[in-house]
Amino acid sequence: ENPSFDNILKVYPNPTSDEVRIDLSTLNEEVDISLYSTNGNLLGKKHVSKALLAEFQSFDFRNITPGIYFLNI
């Protein structure tokens, strides 16, 4: 059986024109978050330590062209 990822992390709002917030509070180990365009360009990267998992993480989209983007967590 495959586990559901519905309750593991939350990314919102989608769509956005301001910022995307990422809730990682259910995780228990540090993670790296990368934001990519559809052509594979790295637009942003963050390292989140265990101590910061309880805080919301965000990516600012105000200066990014509207489109489809991928988060790699």
- pLDDT tens, residue order, the chain (73 aa): 445 556 778 899 999 989 999 999 888 889 999 999 999 999 999 999 988 988 889 999 999 999 999 999 8
- pTM equals 0.81
CA 65/CA 73 separation, integer angstroms: 22
Q: What are the residues whose beta carbons fall under 8 Å from the beta carbon of 68, sequence distance 6 or more? A: 38
